[in-house]
Amino acid sequence: MAQHRKKTGTQLTGRIVVPGNPSYNAARMEFNRRFSKFPRLIVFCRRTQDVVNAVKWARERGVRLRARSGRHSYEGFSSVNGGIIIDVSEMNKVKVDRKKMVAQVQTGNPLARVYRKLWNKRVALPAGTAPDVGVGGLTLGGGIGLLSRKYGLTCDNLKQVKMVVASGRCGAKTIVASKKKHSDLLWASRGGGGGNFGIATSYTFRVRPISTVSIYSITWKWRDLEKVFPAWQRWAPSVTNRLTSTIEVAAKQVGTIVSTGQLLGGAEELRRLIQPLLQAGTPGKVMVRTVPFIEATKFFAEGDLNLEPKFKITGAFGFKPLPREGVRIIRDFLANAPNRHSTVWCQSLGGAGSAVSRVSPTATAYPYRKAETIYELSARWRNDGEQQRNIQWVERFRRALRTFVVGDYVNFPDLKIKNWPKAYYDVNFPRLTRVKRKYDPHNVFRFAQSIPVGKKVRKRQ
């Protein structure tokens, strides 16, 4: 095992990558290539003790640290210049107990692997669609996906979390947060965002039996936008909670609107349920079929593949359908998008007995329980010369829609949002700062939008 020594103090264990190492460039790379940071070293941890050693090592030397799992932090929060990245992606065991209907999932697992391992036992966890997103960050921020309206967010199915936290002046220790012990940390880990309190290494989830599901996809031409978008917004929250759906409006250069969804039920029922959508505008391509659940996860993952490597994303929640003026704003921005890789994506969350909205906004750290939909505004590009234009477009778009939508999802972080504590956490922010003070009083786990120890939000590195 590789070791990194100083004459005194803790030694690093795990796979250690330093500048000059042939794998350093690949090891430092973020999913969002807009960011290119140069850490002092990267530790790929293989067991919890490697994480404990890395946190101690960093604290003893006053070296800034970042936790990293799937590298999907949209604003590059999981990387750092001159500091240490504690990477947990090699901790990827999954154990399923079908009798108890629970799964123990290590934090380094990408979502596609979790789905596959659970599918082997014919169970599922409500989670997202991006196949390579880390289960850790997804869970800690909430976790929104195509089983959400029936089974809740990923974090709603989290029973306990094992976490390495700072201890004493320069130490670190492992604790397990559950309903019985450290219940305040479990509360914060259900929607309070990744990397704020410590480094989670393992999760215990409640899982659900699954076999086949039915999926649909409907495509319209862009000219139908003002008919289709309002129809989807009325329909999506009102339909059975066994059906979760999305709609994506592409830039005018692409010229398509696509709605997809997944039903816990048969194709015949799904065809009946989507009738209100099929009556909006002039649908072109329509697909409805019943597939094994694992095939559905692959179908929805396709939309996250082959995307441009650099991006700017922001989010918001809708508590009611956009009025005509709001839909016009979407049309106008996508008619003047910086390139063909700009989109607005929405997913249904609430309404009709949704499991998401049945939970109180303060029962977990995720506050937007009563929202009907989540919005994601995104711009993507390849060449640095396009960057400013794309970032400004997303920011202008967010501001234009602000009258009609609320907040932002912590897993869609946006450095342009000044009052981010309110945007991400709303009423739960004061309680999150109390949990932070208790478990990380020295602010060891910090980044540009980490929960502060004090009451004031200060700008940090």
Output the domain CATH number for residue 314.
3.40.462.20
Q: Average pLDDT, stretch 336-348?
A: 97
Q: Band of the pLDDT at 71, cuts 50, 70, 90?
A: very high
Do 111 and 189 sit in the same domain of this protein? yes
CATH of the domain at 131: 3.30.465.10
Angle at 343 between CA 341 and CA 348, to 5 degrees: 145
Are 85 and 78 in contact, with CB atoms under 8 Å apart? Answer: yes
Q: Band of the pLDDT at 6, cuts 50, 70, 90?
A: very low
Are 338 and 389 in contact, with CB atoms under 8 Å apart? Answer: yes
Q: Please identify, among 209, 240, 272, the residue that sits at the C-terminal boundary of a domain.
A: 209
CA distance linking residue 355 with residue 351, whole number of Å: 9
**Do the domain assignments include residue 441?**
no
DSSP letter (8 states) at residue 89 = T
Q: Band of the pLDDT at 455, cuts 50, 70, 90?
A: low
Do 199 and 216 sit in the same domain of this protein? no
**Do the domain assignments include residue 256?**
yes
Count how many residues are written for the chain: 461
Coil, helix or strand at residue 184: helix
Average pLDDT, the chain: 95
Do 388 and 262 sit in the same domain of this protein? yes
Range of the domain at 191: 94-209
Q: What percent of the chain has pLDDT over 90?
A: 95
| The two three-digit tokens of residue 90, written as one number | 């090699």
Do 195 and 156 sit in the same domain of this protein? yes
pTM, rounded to two decimals: 0.95
Do 25 and 115 sit in the same domain of this protein? no
**Do the domain assignments include residue 34?**
yes
Name the domain count of the chain. 3
pLDDT of residue 4: 54
Q: Please identify, among 152, 185, 209, the residue that sits at the C-terminal boundary of a domain.
A: 209
Q: Band of the pLDDT at 423, cuts 50, 70, 90?
A: very high
Angle at 220 between CA 215 and CA 224, to 5 degrees: 135
Are 235 and 278 in contact, with CB atoms under 8 Å apart? Answer: no
Do 51 and 66 sit in the same domain of this protein? yes
**Do the domain assignments include residue 193?**
yes
Do 275 and 337 sit in the same domain of this protein? yes
190: number of Cβ within 10 Å: 25
Q: Please identify, among 21, 55, 87, the residue that sits at the C-terminal boundary of a domain.
A: 87
Strand 256-263 versus strand 243-250 pairing type:
antiparallel
Do 368 and 247 sit in the same domain of this protein? yes
**Do the domain assignments include residue 421?**
no
- Residue 53, pLDDT above cutoff 80: yes
Do 255 and 394 sit in the same domain of this protein? yes
- pLDDT tens-digit profile of 91-135? 999 999 999 999 999 999 999 999 999 999 999 999 999 999 999
pLDDT of residue 458: 43
- pLDDT tens-digit profile of 253-285? 999 999 999 999 999 999 999 999 999 999 999
- pLDDT tens-digit profile of 375-396? 999 999 999 999 999 999 999 9
Do 237 and 362 sit in the same domain of this protein? yes
Do 346 and 270 sit in the same domain of this protein? yes
**Do the domain assignments include residue 284?**
yes
CA-closest candidate to residue 149, choices 129, 126, 131: 126
Q: What are the residue ranges of helices labelled H in 377-418?
A: 387-401
- Residue 10, pLDDT above cutoff 70: yes
**Do the domain assignments include residue 430?**
no
pLDDT of residue 1: 47
Per the rule left: phi > 0, alpha: psi between -120 and 50, beta: everything else, 60 is: alpha
9: number of Cβ within 10 Å: 12
CA distances for 369 relative to 42, 157, 251, 339, 431, angstroms = 37, 15, 30, 34, 17
Angle in degrees, 0-180, between the axes of helices 387-401 and 324-335, rounded to the nearest 10: 170
Do 303 and 322 sit in the same domain of this protein? yes
**Do the domain assignments include residue 433?**
no
